[in-house]
Chains A and B, each alone.
Chain A
């Protein structure tokens, strides 16, 4: 059973096993869904992260002991079955350009040390460290279905887990202070998606032409935590076409249930 603790007087945390794991995180999201369905009065919002769910609530409506009890009840049995059937989970296909130069959206941005055009500035470093060819690196990165742990760090930002530890290259000694929106960084069994220009210390492997976060879109964040991602390699020509469409709200993302495509495991 998870542990519930107060975080100040207007929030509590539901803590699951202390490790980064798709199985553990699916439990976090299972409880999150149960809380949403139960629509407990007084809850302001919930924020899932790797292995915890923080619940912001209003103590003038519900006190700590009462809400802790309710959420404890909603956690009942979650640890037992969340590892199980994921066939109804949603998969989003995310096109990625693994190397090649493209225009950046903000020509005035100062990406330290480079112009931001190269989509995979660290590909050579990754190839050297992993002793693999470019094609092998792309194959390794796109082979498995990946899973979105959480997005609370920054707008448009997602931590995405691979079921296997695919790379051993360490983080960069000096993080980049700014990288372009759409960039994918890799570290161990994780990929980070940057929806807006942000600092990043991970090695940059590619860039998606899809606008990950758009305020004016009905679904502002294209990626959603607790869902799955299939990275799909594309050509420079495809990148430009998809980016133009996505900027104008005309890109239709490819999604399906895990059970609908072979290769879903």
Chain B
């Protein structure tokens, strides 16, 4: 039993939380650009948060289902429909066998994640199902999806526990102009004071020359000490901000190389990277300095929130009440106080 890709959309590929352990051999981690939406889609669909999903970019796919299967779509709003009827974002629902899920252009943000209950039958390569597109490795034959692709479902399910509760109130939350926090370094000492001031007071526009490897930006030039932007190549994490000689920041995204030779002025903190990942060319970003303790507190709290959601969706409830508030259906699960 499988799903059939009737229309692949613009750039749809299998992505999970990324491939780690092989960067020393030149393997990019790849993985979802917006890890938060990817994980939330999985949590709604009853999966481990790091299960492989379909990452859809700008324009989503059309997918026919051969089997009843619960899915959840999170991220940019792609106005999904099943056989022409609108279906919700940020909510688990069952697509009946024989039906077609159709998604359109993203109405806010630019990446959306479709999670399939039980997961996709995609080989696990070095611990991950992610597609490393540039090197043609992982995912489905190392490439973006094509019309006619058939992907197996590992354990299709027509319903999950607490089905009506599996929804998240996530409004249209991705903005075109964002401010993200940055931990300075490790080469912030290679910039002049004026250069650092430029970084933290200017607005940078995401360039058309941006992809899953990195987002180039356009904006005021960040001044280097002695006009020297080169370093002996060193390691790069997701979110690092490289500034080459032209003074324009490049934010390293999921498919970043393991090493690079340009000065890194700072790294965008993990909890803010989803805001960057959802920026299309033309969107803008501002940078604000923070510190590692603050960033790690926020990140650990984010992971705890995932655990709370998983517990809520899997709890045993005494009763589930249906409320209709201003015409909107809501469900509330009630447990005995322990």
Contact = CB atoms under 8 A, between A and B. Distances in A.
Interface of A: 5-11, 13, 15, 18-20, 44-54, 56, 59-60, 63-64, 150-157, 159, 195-196, 213, 215, 220-221, 225
A60 B298 CA distance: 10
B20 interface: yes
Given A9-B299, A151-B26, A49 B233 contact: yes
B299 A155 contact: no
B194 interface: no
B27 A155 contact: yes
Contacts of A11: 235, 237, 267
Contact of A54 (B22, B234, B295): B234
B299 A60 contact: yes
Contact of A59 (B24, B236, B299): B299
A154 B213 CA distance: 13
B234 A51 contact: yes
Contacts of A156: 25-26
A150 B21 contact: no
Contacts of B21: 44-45
Interface stretch (B83-91, B202-210, B256-264): B256-264
A150 B259 contact: yes
Nearest to A225: B24
Given A7-B240, A50-B233, 11 more contacts: A7-B186, A8-B267, A15-B234, A48-B24, A51-B232, A52-B232, A152-B25, A152-B258, A156-B25, A196-B135, A225-B24
A151 B293 CA distance: 31
Contact of B234 (A52, A56, A59, A159): A52
A46 B21 CA distance: 8
Interface string B128-146: 0000000101000000000
B162 to A, nearest CB: 26
B135 to A, nearest CB: 6
A63 B296 contact: yes
B239 interface: yes
A50 B27 contact: no
Contact of B259 (A47, A59, A60, A221): A47
Interface in B225-284: 232-240, 257-259, 264, 267-270
B295 A45 contact: no
Contacts of A151: 24-26
Interface residues of B, number: 37
Contact of A49 (B232, B237, B269): B232
A13 B186 contact: yes
Given A8-B240, A9-B270, A44-B21, A153 B26 contact: yes
Given A45-B23, A215-B137, A152 B293 contact: no
A44 B27 CA distance: 14
- Return the 4 tightest CB-CB contacts between A and B, nearest first: A54-B235, A8-B267, A152-B258, A9-B295
B296 A59 contact: yes
A37 B100 CA distance: 52
A13 B24 contact: no
B185 interface: yes
Most chain A CB atoms below 10 A, which of B26, B137, B267, B303? B26
B181 to A, nearest CB: 10
Given A8-B240, A56-B237, A47 B183 contact: no
Contacts of B292: 6, 9, 64
A205 to B, nearest CB: 21
B60 to A, nearest CB: 29
B270 A8 contact: yes
Nearest to B296: A59
B296 A152 contact: no
Contacts of B22: 45
Contacts of A46: 24
A53 B26 CA distance: 14
A154 B28 CA distance: 8
A9 to B, nearest CB: 4
A50 B235 CA distance: 10
A8 B237 contact: yes
Nearest to B273: A8
Contact of B23 (A6, A9, A152): A152
A111 B264 CA distance: 32
A40 B236 CA distance: 21
Most chain A CB atoms below 10 A, which of B135, B234, B267, B296? B234
Interface in B294-314: 295-296, 299-300, 303
